[in-house]
Structure 1
Amino acid sequence: MADALVLTLLGPDRPGLVEDLAALVSSCGGNWLDSRMSHLGGQFAGILRITVAADQQEELQNGFAQLREAGLQISAMPDDAQAPFEALKAVKIQVTGQDHPGIVRDLTHVLAQHEGNIEELNTWTENAPWSGDVLFCASIEVQIPAEVPSTELRTSLESIAQDLMVDLRLEAPQPELA
């Protein structure tokens, strides 16, 4: 039986890095399930979930040693994830506004107050086409408990959007028809 592992990776980016990792997983009879990988500031960062047979894990660890010698930091944790106990609903949030410190802190504070679990957070800056000012942009996918009204979350986010001087778009599930 194959065990599921979650791997985290960080190190200097180079061409062929993901190929080397994929070849290692494949050579151990593993299966690549899910991944998120990115290049940021000359560094490669990734998280992935694989399955590999218990009798192949030593070979996998030996392969990790070779990648570590090339400067890659790797950690492997068992995937013990349990299905969530409560019903959740997905909410997508898009944020755009003039860049300044504190935007992510304030947004994530509101999400935590509504028991939100951030599934994905992507942020970037770009130049405004009309002025050249630096714009902060964010795309957030969050799971909130089904009993938290989407309108309540929307009201809280819109309130801080005014304070932060950002535009905010929120895509929440439509309420069920009675």
Structure 2
Amino acid sequence: MTTSLVVTVVGPDRPGIVNQLSDAAQRLGANWEASRMANLAGQFAGMVHFEVPDDRADALAKALAALESPDLHVVIARSQAGGAAPARRHVRLELMGHDRPGIVRELSGSLAERGVSIEELETHVSSAAMAGGDLFKVKALLAVPASLPDAELRRGLEALANEMMVDVELGETGGR
């Protein structure tokens, strides 16, 4: 059997952070399953999912925790193996509008009210000189409850888009 560890690291960007993570994993026989990493405002932020043999999980957690320093923060979570996940389908969402505070809060609140989970979220601001300001763009992968009809999700997001004065598009994921 294996144990899932999800590790988050955040600190000033510098060469070698990914190498430290992968070295600890390899030494303890863990498999690097999935990851997301980015440089945000000069800070390296990374998340990694490791699968490790049960008898080495504590040692890997200890080795990864040892990477913690005043400049590098490390958080380790063991995934909870549970029963069957609720039936969900995946939908892609794209949003674009004039940048202003509160867009993510309003969008995430509307989705949460409908039981929709945000599995992936990417946002950025780009210059829109012709429009007289900055544009805020969102790309998200949503996990939508099977019990929520597409038409109801679409109506709710269209109403929100009108309130927020943004454009929202929903699309299929092609398997995910």
The answer on whether the counterparts of 1:7 and 1:48 sit within 8 Å (CA) in structure 2 is yes
Deviations 1:123-169 (A, max 9, x none): 11001152452100001111111111111111111111112111111
Tell me the distance in 1 between the aligned counterparts of 2:85 and 2:52.
Answer: 27
Structure 2 match to 1:103: 103
Is the CA contact (8 Å cut-off) linking 2:3 and 2:57 kept in structure 1? no
Q: Once the two structures are superposed, what CA deviation does each residue of 1:87-111 show, in whole Å capped at 9, x if it has no partner? A: 1111111001100111111111111
**What TM-score, normalized by structure 1, do the two folds share?**
0.87
- Aligned residue for 1:167? 167
Partners of 2:84 and 2:47 lie apart in 1 by 21
Q: Residue in 2 aligned with 1:50?
A: 50
- Aligned pair in 2 of structure 1 residues 61, 146: CA closer, same or farther (>3 Å)? closer
What is the TM-score normalised by the length of structure 2? 0.88
Runs of 4+ in 1 over 4 A off after TM superposition: none
State percent identity of aligned pairs.
Answer: 38
- How far apart are the structure 1 equivalents of 2:84 and 2:134? 39
Which range moves more in the overlay, 48-57 or 98-107? 48-57
Structure 2 distance, partners of 1:108, 1:58, is 35
Number of residue pairs aligned between Structure 1 and Structure 2: 174
Deviation at 1:115, TM superposition (A): 0.5
Give the SS at the match of 1:168: strand
Structure 2, gaps ≥5 residues long = none
Is 2:56 the partner of 1:22?
no
Q: Unpaired segments of 5 or more residues in structure 1?
A: 174-178
The alignment's C-alpha RMSD in Å is 2.2
